[in-house]
Structure 1
C-alpha cells in the first residue's frame, strides 16, 4: 500500500490515508507529504477528498474489514474504490513485468531482483512488500521513457485474497505454494488452484522460474525453468547453488546456470533460504539481460529487507536478530539458519503468533519449528484483521513444543524474563507488532553490557 501511495505522490497526486497504528513507516510517509490518520473516523479524511468523489480514487487492502466506518461511508457515497491489487495490476500492465510470487520468500526475492536490475543500470520500477536496506524504501521509481514497455517493473505478487491475479507478467518467479491464508482459501487445494491461475497468466512469450518440486509446469504456456538450493544429481535444476559453505558467519556459494557458473558469491544476508532466493533472483536477472559479473556484484552488495534476518545487535556478548517469519516453514528455515551460523550458542526465541485462524490451522507446525529453540517465549496472538476464536490462544502452540524451556509472556514482562535467561543468541519472530519491542530490548542489552 505504501509503495502505491508513494507512486501517486511522486507523480503529482495528493495522497491521504488511514492505518490502524502509527509506525516508523507511517511517520516517514507523513514526512514525505501524505496526510495519515489512525482513528476510524470519516471526519479525519481531509475535506478536499470528501468534497469531490469523482476526482478521488480510494485504494484499499482487503485487510480492511467491510465493517470499517470509512469503508462503509466511501462505498455508499459515490467514491470509486479499487483494491490495491487492481491498481498495481493497471500500473504494471504498462511495463514489462517481473512478478515474484510465493507463500514465502517473495519480499526478499523481489527486492533482490530490483537491486540486481538497478545496480546493472536497467531502467526499472519496483513495488515491494518491505523496506529495502539498500534504498530505504519499498518503491523504486523508473526513469522517464517514451515507451513504457521498455521499463521493467518488479512486483511482489501477493497471493493474499488472490491479489496476484491482476498481473500478467513477462517473467514470473514462484518460490513456494504451501498452505497459508486458509481464512481466505479454505484449504490447500484452493491455494494451489490460485497459483495455477496466476502462472496461466504469464505471457506466452514469457518464462516461469519455479522452485524445483512445484507442480506448475503444466499450468502455463510460457517456458518453464527450475531453480533449487542444491543441485539434484538425478534431475538437476537449471539454476542451483554449488559449493555452498559458511565463512566468517557469511554464506558463500557458486551460482550454476545453463550458460556457466558465477563463482564465490558472498552474501551479506544469512540463511539457506536466502541463498535459494538469490538463485531465483540471479536466474531472472540473467534472462533479463544482466551480465554474470553484474549478477555477482549485485548479490554481494544486496543488504536485505528490514525485518528479514535483520541484525539488531552483533557483539561478543549477544547476537540479536529480528525476522518477519509467520508461517511454520518460514520459522523453520529462519531458525535452522540461525543455528547453523551460531552452533555454539543457545538460541532464545521470542515468537508472536499472527492471526487466530493461522494459529489454529498450523499449531502443530509452529510447535515443531519452534522446538528448535533452546528457550522459547511466546507472546499473545496478534489479531490483525480477526476477532478472537474460542479456545485459540498461544497455549495451543506451547503445549506441543518439545523444548524444555518454554513459557508465555506479556510484552511488559519481557525484560524480566530475558534478564533471567541471559541470552547470548536472541531472535524476535513474527508479523504483528513485535518489532515495536526491539528498541526497548536493544536498550536493555546495551545497558547490561
Structure 2
C-alpha cells in the first residue's frame, strides 16, 4: 500500500491514508507529505479528500469489514478499488513482470527490480517489503516496464495481466479465504492464464505447472551450479537453456534466497539483459528489510530478524541459520500471525519451531481477525516438543533474551514483533559494549 502511495506522490497527486499503528513506513510517507492518521474515524479524514468527484479510495483486504472510514466511502459512492485492481490498471499498458507464490515473492520481486534498475531499464517496481538498496518499497527509473508482487491473498493477483510471470511456491496458506489447499492451487493455475499472449511463465522446478523451470543444482532450465560459500556469500554459475554463465555472487544466506535469485536472473536473461551487468547488479543486492536481516553481526553475537510467518518459511530460516552458524546455539522468538493460520498449521508450526535450540513464544498477532475459541499460544506451546520453550509477553522480551546464553538470536513473525527489533538491538548493543 505504501508503495502505491509513493507512486501517486511521484505522479503529483495529493495522498492521505489510515493505518492501524505508527511505523517507520508511515513516518517515511509523512516525510513525503502524505497525511496519515491512526484513528478509525470519519472526522479524521482531511477535508480535501471528502470530494467524491476527484478522490480515489484504495484499500487492502487487511482492512476489517467493520472499518468506519471504509464503509463511509462506500456508502457515499466514492470510487473504491482494491489495491490489486489499482496495480492492474497501472501495469496494464506496460511490460509487466509479476512474481507470485506463497513464499519468496517479496525477495524475488526486489531482486528483479534491482537487476532491472541497475541494468538501466526504465522500470517502476512495487515491492512487498522495504528494499535495503533503496530504503523504500518503490523503485522508480521510468514507466515503460513494471515489476509487481502478485499477491494470492483474496485472489488479488487475478487483476494482473503480466508479460512475464514467476511462481515460487504453492504451499497451503490463507485457508481462511480458500477453505482448502486445492482451491489455492486452482487460483495459482488461474493466475498463470492471465499472461498476455506470447507471455513467459517461470516456475520452480517440481511444481505441477508447465513453464520455464528454475532450481538449484538440478536439471531445471535455469539452475545454480558449482555453488560455493565464500565469506558468508554464495558464489555460483548460472546454467541457462543455451549456455553456462559464470561467476555470480549473492550475499543473502539461505538456499531459499538463492532460489529466489535464480528466478530473478532467469526472468532478466529472458528479458534480454547482458551477463556481466547482471552479475554486477546481483553482487550489489543488499536484501529486503525483515528478510533474514542482520541487526547485529559480530564474532560473539548475531541478531537476525525475519518476516517468516508460515511453517515452510520458518524451515527456510532454520536451514539458512544452520548453514551459516552450524555449531552455535540458536534462540528463536516467534510471534504467530493470525488465529486461523495458527489453527490450520498448528502441527507444522510445532515441528518447525521445535528445530531451534531455545524458543520464546509471543501471543498471536490478530491482524484482521477476531479470536477463535481455543486457539491460543498456550495451546500451540503444548504441541512444541522442544523442552527449552517459554511463553512470554512483549514487556519481557529483552530480559528473557538477555537471560539466554545463545550467541545467535532470531526474531520471527509478520505482526508487530518487527517494531520491537530496534529496542532489542539497542539493549543487546549496549550490553555488548559493557
TM-score if structure 2 supplies the norm length?
0.98
- Residues 359-378 of structure 1 correspond to what in structure 2 (within 5 A)? 359-378=342-361
- CA deviations over 1:14-62 (Å, ceiling 9, x no partner): 1000000000000000110000000010011001111x10111100011
Shift of 1:442: 1.1
- CA deviations over 1:280-328 (Å, ceiling 9, x no partner): 0000000111111122111111111000010000012210000001010
- Residues 38-437 of structure 1 correspond to what in structure 2 (within 5 A)? 38-50=38-50, 52-143=51-142, 151-217=144-210, 224-231=211-218, 236-437=219-420
Whole-angstrom distance in 1 between the partners of 2:230 and 2:94:
40
Whole-angstrom distance in 2 between the partners of 1:325 and 1:319:
18
Give structure 1 stretches of 5+ with no counterpart. Answer: 145-150, 218-223
Shift of 1:381: 0.3
CA contact (8 A) 1:210 1:216 kept: yes
Whole-angstrom distance in 1 between the partners of 2:354 and 2:185:
28
Whole-angstrom distance in 2 between the partners of 1:135 and 1:419:
33
Shift of 1:355: 0.2
CA contact (8 A) 2:121 2:141 kept: no
Whole-angstrom distance in 2 between the partners of 1:273 and 1:143:
30
Whole-angstrom distance in 1 between the partners of 2:45 and 2:343:
36
Aligned partner of residue 4 in structure 1, secondary structure: helix
Shift of 1:390: 0.6
CA contact (8 A) 2:164 2:200 kept: yes
Q: CA RMSD in A?
A: 1.1
- CA deviations over 1:90-137 (Å, ceiling 9, x no partner): 000010100100000000001111111111111111111011111111
Aligned partner of residue 399 in structure 1, secondary structure: helix
Give the equivalent residue in structure 1 for 2:34. 34
Aligned partner of residue 265 in structure 1, secondary structure: strand
Give the equivalent residue in structure 2 for 1:221. none
Shift of 1:141: 2.1
Whole-angstrom distance in 2 between the partners of 1:401 and 1:346:
18
TM-score if structure 1 supplies the norm length?
0.94
Shift of 1:204: 2.5
Aligned partner of residue 70 in structure 2, secondary structure: helix
Whole-angstrom distance in 2 between the partners of 1:294 and 1:371:
42
Whole-angstrom distance in 2 between the partners of 1:5 and 1:447:
37
Whole-angstrom distance in 1 between the partners of 2:405 and 2:421:
16
CA contact (8 A) 2:123 2:141 kept: yes
Whole-angstrom distance in 2 between the partners of 1:328 and 1:127:
26
Whole-angstrom distance in 2 between the partners of 1:136 and 1:259:
36
Give the equivalent residue in structure 1 for 2:22. 22
Aligned partner of residue 88 in structure 1, secondary structure: helix
CA contact (8 A) 2:88 2:160 kept: yes
Whole-angstrom distance in 2 between the partners of 1:396 and 1:386:
18
- CA deviations over 1:67-89 (Å, ceiling 9, x no partner): 11111111111211000011110
